[in-house]
């Protein structure tokens, strides 16, 4: 069994979508939802789905390596970032080398980097006059949104699309593709599992 931990900071719609997708999977399970925000709604979603949770603070995340022991205690094989807002520290990137993926709500390398998340991304895309946007699923390294790209999907932007409409289109791509791409990556990474 391949055990996943999903890291999320907020509402958790992607975390729920991924968890539900793998809930009936024979070889992959979401074992843990991890958050840096004790008030994040994703923790309530996890409770409703019967998934264990773990919350940490900035000091323990950046100044200790306790999280590695916590993840080991749940036998976590792979980490999924789904709306997780903090930069992943180097020790965690190294411990889970090529085993952490993230989704970004734009077509990287455009509109990435620190502070580029959620509505900020969609607003920047709209202001730039882009005719399309989309999602990028990528490996995580020690820089914001700079890991190697695994998958991209795009959607058109109509001239009258609002920031909210753009967000809605991108979210549909996230729901459709993220679980499938995770599954595909895991099948390649754990052929003999």
Say how far apart CA 23 and CA 27 lie, in whole Å.
Answer: 10
Q: Do the strands 100-104 and 132-139 form a parallel or antiparallel pair, or are they unpaired?
A: antiparallel
Distance (Å, whole) CA 72 – CA 65: 12
**In 3D, which of 101, 66, 128 has the Cα closest to residue 189?**
101
Task: Name the percent of the chain in helix, strand, coil, to the closest 5.
Answer: 40, 20, 40
Q: Report in angstroms the alpha-carbon separations of 156 from 31, 108, 169.
A: 36, 16, 9
Catalytic residue among 54, 104, 138, 177: 104
DSSP state letter for 94:
H
What one-character DSSP code corresponds to residue 89? P
The answer to whether residue 104 is catalytic is yes
User: Catalytic amino acids?
Assistant: 104
């Amino acid at each position: 069994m391949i055990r996943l931990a999903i890291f999320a900071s907020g509402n958790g719609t992607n975390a729920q979508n991924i968890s539900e997708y793998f809930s009936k999977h024979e070889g992959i399970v979401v074992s843990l939802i991890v958050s840096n925000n004790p008030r994040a709604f994703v923790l309530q979603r996890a409770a409703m789905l019967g998934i264990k949770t773990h919350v940490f603070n900035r000091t323990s995340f950046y100044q200790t390596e306790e999280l590695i022991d916590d993840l080991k205690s749940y036998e976590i094989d792979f980490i999924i970032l789904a709306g997780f807002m903090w930069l992943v520290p180097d020790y965690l990137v190294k411990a889970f080398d090529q085993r952490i993926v993230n989704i970004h709500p734009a077509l990287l390398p455009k509109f990435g980097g620190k502070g580029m998340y959620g509505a900020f991304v969609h607003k920047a895309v709209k202001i730039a006059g882009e005719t399309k946007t989309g999602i990028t699923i990528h490996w995580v390294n020690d820089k914001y949104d700079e890991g190697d790209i695994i998958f991209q999907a795009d959607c058109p932007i109509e001239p009258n699309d609002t920031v909210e409409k753009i967000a809605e289109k991108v979210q549909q791509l996230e729901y459709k593709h993220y679980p499938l791409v995770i599954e595909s990556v895991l099948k390649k990474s754990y052929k003999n599992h």
